């Protein structure tokens, strides 16, 4: 896995936005895999600015998000659909009908099974953006003692993830305990992967992912098996490499 270390989180976001821009220049109808969480917000802000200046065009792009909380309707203020609308889609010229976020309501098992198929029918993901959890999770694929979760599925969230994400909710009790997520197989199918990590809290997970053994105890380590992954890190997140 290749990694690049920047002095600041802003450097990470700037570089990530350049990768998005170059992808769009190469392939105007690119399919993006997108992530939520705090880490990509600054990248999205820069994409909005580039789009507003007419430097990049999302008019033919499509996107698939990694995950959604179980039980949250798209218009729930804490849903990931809402997060994406607020932080990106409502401010760029993407066709919202071509932005997909897994549905957290209805028959979740069926939603998960269908999600892999919809992505396949779209021709697969050209550029998959990822954050990383403190425990190495990508999407909502949490550490597991036995196996990597290959297909899109409905998963339980670990206490540490519930704790980490409580900041987006009124209180910890409101954080859903389950989610629907693209599986690690789906992530590995993306043609190119861009993982962003900033801050000291991510240093252990990042070192495990890049240098450690490939183990389901650190789901991001499976990216070592992918041939085209770039990790953009700030100094703090890279401290243990
Ligand atoms: C959430 C998301 C992940 C994200 C992770 C890290 O749990 N499901 O996709 O990568 O949090 O978030 P942050 O960037 O806020 O640290």
If one counts the domains in the chain, the total is: 1
* Tally of CB atoms within 10 A around 92: 20
Domain annotation covers residue 239? no
Question: What torsion do the CA atoms of 177, 180, 181, 186 make, to the nearest 10 degrees?
Answer: 150
Question: Which of 16, 33, 34, 36, when mutated, tests ligand 1's pocket best, judged by the most ligand atoms within 8 Å of its CB?
Answer: 36
Domain annotation covers residue 133? yes
Domain annotation covers residue 240? no
Domain annotation covers residue 167? yes
Give the model confidence (pLDDT) of 197-229 as tens digits.
Answer: 999 999 999 999 999 999 999 999 999 999 999
Domain annotation covers residue 44? yes
- For ligand 1, whether the C-beta of 183 sits within 6 Å is no
Domain annotation covers residue 33? yes
Please tell me which residue in 65, 111, 135, 141 is annotated as part of the active site: 135
Domain that holds residue 204: 2-234
- The CATH number assigned to the domain holding 182 equals 3.40.50.1360
pTM (predicted TM-score): 0.97
Domain annotation covers residue 66? yes
Q: Tokens for 35? A: 């992530």
Yes or no: say if 222 and 185 are a contact pair by the CB < 8 Å rule: no
**How do 153-156 and 178-181 pair as beta strands?**
antiparallel
Q: Is 142 a catalytic residue?
A: yes
Give the model confidence (pLDDT) of 130-170 as tens digits.
Answer: 999 999 999 999 999 888 988 999 999 999 999 999 999 99
Distance 123 CA to ligand 1 centre (A): 26
Domain annotation covers residue 224? yes
* Tally of CB atoms within 10 A around 200: 12
């Amino acid at each position: 896995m290749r990694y690049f270390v920047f002095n600041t989180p802003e450097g990470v976001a700037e570089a990530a936005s350049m990768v998005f821009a170059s992808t769009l220049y190469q392939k105007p109808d690119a399919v993006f895999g997108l992530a939520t969480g705090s880490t990509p917000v600054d990248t999205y802000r820069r994409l909005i600015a580039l789009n507003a200046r007419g430097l990049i065009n999302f008019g033919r792009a499509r996107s698939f998000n990694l995950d959604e909380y179980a039980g949250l309707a798209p218009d729930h203020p804490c849903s990931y659909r809402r997060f994406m609308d607020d932080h990106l889609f409502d401010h760029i010229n993407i066709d919202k009908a071509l932005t997909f976020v897994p549905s957290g309501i209805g028959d979740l098992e069926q939603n998960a099974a269908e999600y892999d198929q919809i992505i396949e029918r779209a021709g697969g993901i050209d550029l998959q953006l990822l954050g990383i959890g403190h425990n190495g999770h990508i999407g909502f694929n949490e550490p597991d003692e036995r196996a990597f979760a290959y297909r899109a599925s409905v998963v339980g969230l670990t206490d540490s993830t519930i704790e980490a994400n409580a900041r987006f909710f009124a209180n910890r009790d409101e954080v859903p305990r389950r989610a629907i997520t693209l599986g690690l197989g789906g992530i590995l199918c993306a043609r190119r992967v861009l993982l962003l990590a900033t801050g000291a809290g991510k240093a252990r997970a990042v070192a495990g992912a890049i240098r450690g053994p490939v183990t389901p105890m650190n789901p991001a380590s499976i990216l070592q098996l992918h041939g085209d992954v770039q990790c953009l890190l700030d100094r703090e997140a890279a401290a243990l490499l």
